[in-house]
Each structure stands twice: as structure tokens, then as C-alpha cells.
Structure 1
Amino acid sequence: MAEEAKVSEAAYSLQKITITDDSKDDYQYEEVSADDDFSLPEDDEDLSKALQTIEEQAEDAKLMEFLSVLNSEKLISDIPQAMDDFFCNFLVRLGMSRTLDCFQTEWYELIERGELSADEAGLVPDVYTRNEQLETENLSLKKDLENYRQTVNKVEEALLKMEKERDFHRMHHKRVLQEKNRLVCDLKRLKTHYASYEPMLKQMSEKYQNSLTQKMLTSLERDKAMGQVTGLQAALNSLESGYAKQLLEAKEGCECTKKKEFEGPTQKGLWEARQKKFLVVASSSSDPGEEAEKKMSRRDLKDSEFPVDAEGTLSFEHAKEQTQPQKSGQYQLSSILKVHDLAVSCLALHPRKNIVLTGGDDHLWKTWGFPDGNILLTGEGHTDWVSGCCFRPSGTQLVTSSGDTTVRLWDLSRSGCTLTLRGHSRAVRGCTWHSCGDFVASASADCTSKIWDVNSERCRYTLRGHKGSVNSIEFLPFSSTVVTSSADKTLSLWDVRKGLRVYTFQGHVHPCNHATFNRKGDSIASCDSSGVLKLWDMRMLLPVLSIDAGPHPANQVAFHRSGDLVALASSEGSVKVLSLAVGQLSILRGPGVEVRCVRFHSQDSLLSAGADGRVCLWSWAQ
């Protein structure tokens, strides 16, 4: 179709000509006036002449009419096509090339010999030209009609698709409205049902909180009393060594006169105190919780029993001397000691001697004398950074935790590792020792904490409940309660005798890095990654103070022995000390590197360790 259209366009052409008023006809026309009378003479009428005159007048009228038409149409838009061109175009359109060659050859031969002229051939009648034009228009209209038909079909398909989608969405909308109405009705019924139970739930919640608080306070008081009893027992044992020896002689059949030697006022008081002590121990041993622990301990003959052992426990009078209020003044930098090649990540103090224990990113732990800094022992064995360290209450052993997922026990007398505890799946972030010396607690990045029995060398409980890394763990003094801090922004209290969580403190808005008890056990200090320091009341189980010491992270927090000062290790390169008595926050600036751990050494000394492997000694100056 496209080739035929191109051929038809090449075969036809339009020319514009103008016909002038001057006629090429040599015929001379006579002007006849309108006034002339053409009436036949009446005298000699001749029928033949009359007829001839009528015919001449008719021819003149036709000629005048033709001239008037020529004069009125000056422009001719279409010129009829020559006959030879018509045949040539016709044969080209049909593709008859051989016939076309024969026609042109014979046509031009006749013209050359003079036997035929182009004028004699004439022109193609107008009807053929018009038919060609109409045929071309017809083809164009057919093409347009086909395009319109295809467009209409596409529109019909799109319309049907849209109608189907409309019906689907309409049905879906009706179904959603029905479900919505049904849910609204259900919600109304549930609200009504819940409103009927709300007063009872509120009352039961209040009772539960009161009972939980009372249970916690009772447990803390019992544990504290047990600690005091064990301290008194140790003191009485040291004072009554001679009395025990003489009592043994009396049992073997000595004379009654020896008994009279103990009837003095001092010996009598000691005897009464001993009797009272035995009554307290007997009454405490009848506690149902401890009976359950004894039953549990029967699973392994080597398992230790909670809560405490007298080994390494400070006497009550000594603890009282250590908690005297701090005098007014401030800390000043006295010396800096280089103890590790890499960052120091943990710091601990010997319970009886002036010995400091540090662990670092160089996979080592070291003990050194205070305040000279002489290295005493170096422990090698961990394959990753040492994250936590703690002395046994007796001072003969220590425990370390590491990023290699292990907890190791070390004997100071033999300077070697005596036990490796494995069970965590990720890095261990901290460790601590129970006051009885038979249990070790560890906190790990695997979101769990573990209570290890040193005697049976196994894990007694795994404390699960945190949703993030457990960053620190610490025992309440003279108690079987531990506090953990986690990256899930919470603190938790746990009863290690049962492995259950007792309470969860919520208030931090950033991950908690560390939490610790004061010496009295009635307050908890915690810090988070934004530098916020919080104090919590153990009796009310509520926050009592919040200090924003940020924006840099706070890595560790420590209580002074008196409980009046709180030290904070900050990543901005300083130690921040908060005086609870006056509410003043002072900043101690040292080498300017990140401070990772801090400890109060004595009544007037403070230790801090940083990322440069050095330990800063701060002295109290009035």
C-alpha cells in the first residue's frame, strides 16, 4: 500500500495556469446591437433562409455562452492527464514493467516516424482522474478507519478491566466496612468487659507491688543480718579459741574446779553471746528458701550452699569505721603510673592489702603495689581483652573475664590459672565474686548472666531476661542478690539462690554501661552511654536522683565507702565526682584520654584508668 501511494504521488502533478482575455481564435465576431430587429421580411419569406438564420443565431448564442464561461473562470486547478502518461502511470502502479517498456518503445518510435503525435492521443477524461483521487482518499480513509478500530478495541479492553477493578474494590470496600463495624462492636464489648475488671486488677496490682517490695526488703534485711552474724561469729571464734580448748578438756572428764574458772563476768558474757549466736543461726537455718537450696544442692555433692561463708568477710565494726562521712575538700592528681601497653579496661582492689589489680586490652592482668606502682604479678592466658577482674574476699585468688568468652580463676600463690569456666557464646563483659567466696557471677554480650559454683566447677544458674548485652554484674554486700545493667536500657535485680529476676529498674533512655551498690546496700548508682548518672533507692525501688554528665558516654560508676561521693568515668577524658551531701559535681581532668574505670581506694584516695594504659592516683586535699 505504501509503494502504491508513492507511485500515485509521483504520477500526478498539479499546475496552475491563467487564461487571458485575449482569445487565440482567429474568428472575427460582429457586434450585434440589441436594438436590431431580426424579424423575417414579410415580403419574400423563404423557409430555408429562415431556418438557416435560426441555426446561426443558436450557434452564436452557444459561442457567447462559452466565452462568458471562459471569462468567468480565470484559473484551472486540474489539467487532464495526457493519455501516454496515464498509461505509463497505470502500468507502473500495476508493476507491469515489461509491458511498460514495450509501450514506451512503440510509442516513441511512432512519434519519431511522424506517424503519431501527442496531441492526437488526447487527454484522459476527468472522470478517471477523479476516480484516482477518490481511490487515494478511500485508501487513506480505510487506513484511518483501521487505526480507529484498533484504538476502540484497546479502549474497550481498558474499560472492561477498569470495570472489573472497580467491582473488586467496591466489594473489598464493603467487606472492610463490615469487618470494621464488627471490630468496633467487639472493641466496645471488650472495653465494657475490661472496665468491669479494672478495679480488681488495680487492687491486685497494688497488692502485688506491696508484697514484692516487702519480700525484697525482708530478703535484704535477712541477708544483712546473716552477714552481721557471720562477722560476729568470726570475731567470737578468734576470741574464744582458749575457751573452746578448755571446754574440750571439760568434756574429757576434767575436774569441776576448772569450770569455775569461766564463771567470771567476761567469760559469762562470752558464753551468753555464743548461745544467742547459735540460736540465731539455728533460726535462720530453718528458712524455707534455704531448705529448698539444700534440696537443690543434693544434685551434686560438691555444690556450695547459699548464702555466705565467713571466709574473707569484714567484721561489722570494721565496716562501720570505713563508712565515716567524707570531710570537705577535693581530689587532686598526685601521680600517674604506666601499667599496661594498651588500654586498661578493669580495675579491682585487694580486700586486705594495698594491692591493685588491673586488666587491659593487651590480654594481660597485673597486680601492683599501691602507691609505688611496682608490678607484683602478671597473668597470661586469655586470648582477647580482659574485660573484668575481681579479688576473692579472702584475697588468695582472683577471677577475670575476657572477650574470648571465658571466665578464669587464678591462684595468687601459684601464679597460674586453676579453673576455666566456659559457657557463654559471646564476649564476657564483667565478673564479680560473692562475699562467701564460693560463687562467681559473670555478665556477657549474649544477653545472659551466669552464676558459677567454684567448688563444683559448674554453672548453677543462667539468668535470662535482658534483651541486650549485659554489661555489668555485681553482688549486693553480704547478700545473694545481684544487680545487672544491660544495653536494653534497664537494670535488674536477681535472686541467685533461685535464678529468678526480682525487679527491673526502668528509666534510662540509652544503653546502661554499669551499675553498683553502695556499701550499705540501700542505693544503686548506674550510668549509660549518654553520660547520665542515676541513683536508685533499694527500699522504694524508685529513682531518687538523675544527673546529666554527658554528652560523652559514662563507662563506670563507683561509690565512696562513706556513700557521700559517687565517681564517674567519662569518655571525654575526665573523672566526675558527685557530692551527694551538697549536690555538687566536680570534674577531675588528667591526661585527657578516655577514662574506662574508676575506684575509691581508701578514705582519701581515688584511682582511675584510661585508654592509654596508665592509672591516675588522686588524693583528697582539704
Structure 2
Amino acid sequence: MMASATGGTRQFVEDPAELSGGDETFYLEQVTIDDGDDDEYEYEGVELDDDDVADEGEEDLDQALRTLKLKRGMAVDEPPSAPEKPEIQERPEVVDDFIRNFLRKVGMHKTLDSFQREWYALKEDGKLNEEDVGAVPDVYLRNQYLRDEVKVMKEKVEKMEQIANKARATWDKFRKERDFHKMHHKRVVQEKNKVIADLKRIKNHYADFEPALAAMRKKYEAAMKEKMMMKLERDRLKAKVTALETQVMQLESIRPATDEASVAQRPRPRPTGASLPKQPRPNPFFAFSDEPRAVETYALQATAQAHDVGVAAVAHHPTKQIVATASDDCTWRMWTVPGGELVMSGEGHADWLSSVEFHPHGSHLATGSGDCAVKVWDFRTASCSATFSDHTQAVWDIAWHDLGDFLVSASMDHTAKLWDVVAGKCRSTFRGHVDSINSVCFQPFSENLCTGSGDKTVSLWDCRTALCIQTFYGHLNAVSSVAFSARGDRVASTDADGVVKLWDVRKVAEYCQIYAGPHPANHCAFDRSGSILAVASDDGTVKVFNVDLAACATDDGKASAHLNDLRGHDQAVQCVVFEPNSNKYLVTSSSDASYRIWS
């Protein structure tokens, strides 16, 4: 307890502390009593018994409590009654305490120390009166209380906003998952409906086959019955023929000797058709050597739109300035060079054309097609003079023998066939490749031919025996084209990796390798000198190489074998040929439906 008296005012300040004396509990409050205050309080003296009054030095808390009870008229030993609930009255804070609390709250400790020193110095000197100080107006306390409430409410609002944001994020997540599952469900329903429709369509499709299968089954049974009847008829006729032969032998045995002599003198029928020479002819290109032309300066000279779709092959006439083109539109056409005027065209194949070749004498034209047929066209009659259709799959390439009596074709059915144009029949079939034969050519002035296959091999064949005499291995992808040099001592082959290999026929070994990739090399052709090789590439260019330089090129600075890149086609170049007489120019055909002349 603290007590202060200033002027006529007494003030008691007690912390609300709990005082326990005996069996009762008391609370002390702060009360200010003014001497000049006219109120209803009356003070009177109370006489204390000697037994109850103790010396001032011996006064303690218990004594004070007993004295207070006696003043209130309560028995000392009376059991305590239920304590009344105290009422707490808030009093305005004095100014100095308000300032101290404010400075301590904001952390202005130095200012607080200065204030304390100056405050107590003034108070010690008596220059500071309590009346002048007064209490803090209630509005400040109320503002402070409201600020505290606002702060608490802001914290609550922030917490609520965080909770709301989390709830909103969770709701957005659930909404997205709902939309995802809804879209997934719709997609599954659409796929299910599509599958159901496909099943119905397939069922209807197969239901349409049932009558056809039944009809084919009946035809098969009828054919088997006819086969059995034919076997019976064959056996009957065979027995009849045997009997007739026996009768003929008996009749011949009784004929006079003159009849036998006359029969012996009758000439036997001569076999029809052409025959292959037993020995190779002299190659005129060994007698002289042509200098290779300066293909480094070759450039585009003429362009002709030959067909409406891609041109698969082009061939040059052996003696005239005429070229022939074969297209995917199932037709072939002849054009003048370099004028580009149409001379003749032919139709007759049922599918795309893959190859075209002039007869060595220039009187006929041969074409190979995807309809498994090879046709020979006669310029004098302007019609098809022969059709060879023994292949079971598409024909990829054809080549004439230098005598002009034989024609060879390469097919997707893994075989090559030698056709006798005079007799109009197949003379030999070359079997041995295990994949499609993509290219074929004759060795000049001999009876040997070369084939390139999708089984990555190049093979040499003897037309007289239809046997393979040599196979070259080395390609890592399907062989797309093969070509002999004019001397016949070199074979060039290209593959789908853009690799070009030169093979020495005499040494039966690889001569050199040229890389023309990375795009596939579709076709290749030698010039008359045998030193220049043109390669038609799938990237729309024609790459020209000197094979002599390629054979001797090393990594220590030799001249490059690559001479030129002929650019001008818009799509893949499918075929390339040199002008056969003077090498003045070369002709190319492309998938862009045009042929172009370079010189």
C-alpha cells in the first residue's frame, strides 16, 4: 500500500491483490479522498479495546483484519460469508504513466530515461504540481483501446483471408479436377461410341463376305469335281493314246525300208527365236579413250514439263536427239531435245511405269510397269508389238542386250527374266536374290548381266546358263541402281544410304566408295569415258563425281572426287542419263513431273 498527500487530497493506491486473513478474503481498491469534498461520508472515532489494540510496532496483517472486522460489526470467530464479487472500476491513467508506457511500448528507452530524469528533478525541486498534471483524457485511452481492438480485428481478418485463399485454391483445384474428369469421361464416351460404330461396320463388312465365301466354296467344290473328272478323262485318254501308239509301232514295223529312208531325208523343223552368242564380241571402247568433259561447268539449260505427275525414268535415243519419259500416270512420251516438242506417246499399261529403254537400233521402245508387265512398242506401226507378263509382282527395271534380240527385266518378285523378243517368250529366269531386284543392266558386248537387290547385294549372271557367277557384298542398305561403264570393267551401285560403290569386275573386288548422302541415291550413270559418274539424289540434286580421283583420293590433300552439284529440281531426282554419242549433256527426270537438260 502506498499513500500520498498533496495539499488537501489523500490518495491510496493498491494493486488489486488478494489478502487472506483468517477465513475471509478481502480486496483493496484505490480511493481518492478530497478534504474539501462535501459528500455523505462521515467519519467518527472508534474506541478500541485494550485487548484488541496492539502496539504499533507489533501490528501485523492479522491484527489489521480483526480490527476491520470489528469496525464492520462482524464477529471475529464468525464463519466467513460468501465473498461479494468485486467491481473493478477503470480510472484514467495519469499523464506521466501514460507517457512512460507509450515510450516503453515504442522502444524509445533513451527518451524515457531523459523524461524520468527531468520529471523527478522537477518534482524534487517542487516545480511540478499534481493539479497541473492531471489525468490522461479518456479519449486517448479510448483511442488506444480502439486501436488495440482494430489491430486484433486486422489479425483475425488476415487469418480469415488466408483461410479463404486456401479454400479458394482448394476449390479451384477441385473444379479443375472436375472439368478434367468430365472431359475424360466425354472422350471415353466418344471413343466408346466410335468403337461401337467400328464394330458394327466390321460386322456388316464381314457379313457381306459370307455370301461370297459360300459362293467361292461352291466353286471350289465344283472345281474339285471337275478336277477329278479331268483326271478320269486324262487316264482314259492316256490309255487310248498308249493303245494308238502300240498300233502305230506295229504298223511302222511292217512298212518297207523305202518309207524309212524317205522319213530320214525329211528336214527337221528349225527352232524359232534368237540365240545368244557363245563368245563375247570385241568392245570398241577399248580401242580408244574419250577425255572426260568438264562437268564442273555444267548448268541447267532447259526444262520441260513432261507429265502431270512424277517422271520415274528417262532414256536417250541411241542416235537421235530424242528422249523418252515414263511416268506414274501410266503413259510414256517421246520429246525432242532441246526443243521439248512431243513426238509420240503411248498408253497401255494398267499401272505406273517404272522404266523405259530404247532399242539399240532405235526402232523399238521397252517399258516396265507396276502391272507386272513388260511391253515392247514398235515405232513403225505405232503400236505395242509384244507384252511379257510372267512376273508376279511389279517390274522395277529393264535393259536391252546390245544385239537387240533380248530384253531383261528386274521385278519385285525376287527374280530377273530374260525375254526373247523374236520368239516372244521368256528364255531364262534368274533366281538367287532374297529380296526385290531393283535394277538390272547388261555388261557391254557380252552375255553377262548385273542385278542390284534390296537384299544389299550386287550379283553378276551368265545369261547362257542363268547362273550367278559372282556376288558383291558391302552395302548396308538396299541397292537402288547398278550401271556398267562403257568398257565393261567397272560396275557402280548406289543404295538407300546415299553410298556409291565401284566394283572391279576383273579383280572381283571393291574399287572405291563414294559418299553421296545423307539422302538416298536413286540412280547412277557413267559417261562414255567411264571416269565421270552422275548420281541422282533424293534431295533434288544430281551429284557428279570423278571415279578416278575417288580411287586415288587420300586424307593427305588429294583432289576431291566431287566435281559438281546440279540443282534445279523441286523434288527427288529419279533418273539420270548421259547423251550416248558425245557426252555433250545429260538428262534428268524427277518427281516434280519434269525432265531437265544440263550442259
- The percent of aligned pairs where both chains have the same amino acid is 41
| Matching residue of 1:616 | 596
Say if 2:283 and 2:445, in contact at 8 Å, map to a contact too.
Answer: no
Counterpart check, 1:305 vs 2:272? no
How far apart are the structure 2 equivalents of 1:339 and 1:320? Answer: 38
| Matching residue of 2:454 | 487
Say if 1:308 and 1:435, in contact at 8 Å, map to a contact too.
Answer: no
Structure 1 467/299 Cα, relative in aligned 2: closer, same or farther at 3 Å?
A: farther
How far apart are the structure 2 equivalents of 1:612 and 1:328? Answer: 24
| Matching residue of 1:273 | none
Structure 1 527/299 Cα, relative in aligned 2: closer, same or farther at 3 Å?
A: farther
Say if 1:309 and 1:435, in contact at 8 Å, map to a contact too.
Answer: no
Q: Deviations over 1:237-277 (max 9, x none)?
A: xxxxxxxxxxxxxxxxxxxxxxxxxxxxxxxxxxxxxxxxx
Say if 1:307 and 1:436, in contact at 8 Å, map to a contact too.
Answer: no
Say if 2:283 and 2:487, in contact at 8 Å, map to a contact too.
Answer: no
| Matching residue of 1:332 | 299
How far apart are the structure 1 equivalents of 2:510 and 2:489? Answer: 12
Pairwise CA distance, 1:329: 3.7
Structure 1 314/388 Cα, relative in aligned 2: closer, same or farther at 3 Å?
A: farther
| Matching residue of 2:415 | 448
Q: Deviations over 1:332-381 (max 9, x none)?
A: 11121111111111111111111111101011111111111111000100
Say if 2:295 and 2:544, in contact at 8 Å, map to a contact too.
Answer: no
| Counterpart selection for 1:548 from 494, 509, 515 | 515
Q: Deviations over 1:114-145 (max 9, x none)?
A: xxxxxxxxxxxxxxxxxxxxxxxxxxxxxxxx
Pairwise CA distance, 1:382: 0.6
Pairwise CA distance, 1:541: 0.9
| Matching residue of 1:344 | 311
Output the TM-score relative to the length of structure 1: 0.49
| Matching residue of 1:83 | none
Q: Deviations over 1:459-478 (max 9, x none)?
A: 11110000000001111111
Say if 1:347 and 1:359, in contact at 8 Å, map to a contact too.
Answer: yes
Counterpart check, 1:413 vs 2:380? yes
Pairwise CA distance, 1:555: 0.5
How far apart are the structure 2 equivalents of 1:381 and 1:518? Answer: 33
| Matching residue of 2:166 | none
The aligned runs of 1:575-590 (5 Å cut-off) are 575-583=542-550, 584-585=561-562, 586-590=564-568
Say if 2:312 and 2:575, in contact at 8 Å, map to a contact too.
Answer: yes
Pairwise CA distance, 1:325: 3.2
Pairwise CA distance, 1:320: 5.6
| Matching residue of 2:253 | none
Counterpart check, 1:604 vs 2:584? yes
Task: Give the residue type in structure 2 aligned to 1:611.
Answer: S
| Matching residue of 2:49 | none
Pairwise CA distance, 1:330: 2.5
| Matching residue of 1:316 | 284
Two-structure CA RMSD over aligned residues (Å):
2.2
| Matching residue of 2:494 | 527
Say if 2:292 and 2:532, in contact at 8 Å, map to a contact too.
Answer: no
How far apart are the structure 1 equivalents of 2:469 and 2:279? Answer: 23
How far apart are the structure 1 equivalents of 2:352 and 2:310? Answer: 9
Task: Give the residue type in structure 2 aligned to 1:466.
Answer: H
Q: Deviations over 1:84-139 (max 9, x none)?
A: xxxxxxxxxxxxxxxxxxxxxxxxxxxxxxxxxxxxxxxxxxxxxxxxxxxxxxxx
| Counterpart selection for 1:517 from 484, 488, 491 | 484
Task: Give the residue type in structure 2 aligned to 1:498.
Answer: T
Say if 1:566 and 1:577, in contact at 8 Å, map to a contact too.
Answer: yes
The aligned runs of 1:9-24 (5 Å cut-off) are none
Pairwise CA distance, 1:323: 2.9
Say if 2:418 and 2:426, in contact at 8 Å, map to a contact too.
Answer: yes
Pick the structure with more helix per residue: 1
Say if 2:439 and 2:482, in contact at 8 Å, map to a contact too.
Answer: yes
How far apart are the structure 1 equivalents of 2:302 and 2:282? Answer: 30
Counterpart check, 1:567 vs 2:534? yes
Q: Deviations over 1:415-467 (max 9, x none)?
A: 11011111000000011111111111000000000001111111111100000
Say if 2:570 and 2:592, in contact at 8 Å, map to a contact too.
Answer: no
Task: Name the SS of the counterpart of 2:340 in structure 1.
Answer: coil
Pairwise CA distance, 1:300: 7.5
Structure 1 496/342 Cα, relative in aligned 2: closer, same or farther at 3 Å?
A: same
How far apart are the structure 2 equivalents of 1:328 and 1:614? Answer: 22
How far apart are the structure 2 equivalents of 1:528 and 1:613? Answer: 23
Task: Give the residue type in structure 2 aligned to 1:378.
Answer: S
Count of aligned pairs: 319
How far apart are the structure 1 equivalents of 2:302 and 2:571? Answer: 16
How far apart are the structure 2 equivalents of 1:509 and 1:349? Answer: 31
| Matching residue of 1:506 | 473
Pairwise CA distance, 1:299: 10
Task: Give the residue type in structure 2 aligned to 1:591.
Answer: H
| Matching residue of 1:396 | 363
Q: Deviations over 1:160-187 (max 9, x none)?
A: xxxxxxxxxxxxxxxxxxxxxxxxxxxx
How far apart are the structure 1 equivalents of 2:276 and 2:343? Answer: 33
| Matching residue of 1:182 | none
Gaps of 5+ in 1: 1-297
Task: Name the SS of the counterpart of 1:429 in structure 2.
Answer: strand
Task: Give the residue type in structure 1 aligned to 2:436.
Answer: S
Counterpart check, 1:383 vs 2:350? yes
The aligned runs of 1:20-169 (5 Å cut-off) are none
Gaps of 5+ in 2: 1-267, 551-560
How far apart are the structure 2 equivalents of 1:448 and 1:617? Answer: 34
Structure 1 299/345 Cα, relative in aligned 2: closer, same or farther at 3 Å?
A: farther
Q: Deviations over 1:175-211 (max 9, x none)?
A: xxxxxxxxxxxxxxxxxxxxxxxxxxxxxxxxxxxxx
| Matching residue of 1:424 | 391
Pairwise CA distance, 1:590: 0.9
Task: Give the residue type in structure 2 aligned to 1:449.
Answer: A
Structure 1 300/578 Cα, relative in aligned 2: closer, same or farther at 3 Å?
A: farther
Task: Give the residue type in structure 2 aligned to 1:588.
Answer: L
Pairwise CA distance, 1:615: 0.8
How far apart are the structure 2 equivalents of 1:335 and 1:397? Answer: 26
The aligned runs of 1:232-271 (5 Å cut-off) are none
Pairwise CA distance, 1:587: 1.5
Pairwise CA distance, 1:524: 0.4
How far apart are the structure 2 equivalents of 1:322 and 1:346? Answer: 29
| Matching residue of 2:63 | none
How far apart are the structure 2 equivalents of 1:508 and 1:372? Answer: 40
Counterpart check, 1:558 vs 2:525? yes
How far apart are the structure 1 equivalents of 2:518 and 2:572? Answer: 14
Say if 2:524 and 2:576, in contact at 8 Å, map to a contact too.
Answer: yes
Task: Name the SS of the counterpart of 2:566 in structure 1.
Answer: strand
Task: Give the residue type in structure 1 aligned to 2:598.
Answer: W
The runs of at least 4 consecutive aligned structure 1 residues that moved more than 4 Å come to 319-322
| Matching residue of 1:372 | 339
Pairwise CA distance, 1:528: 0.2
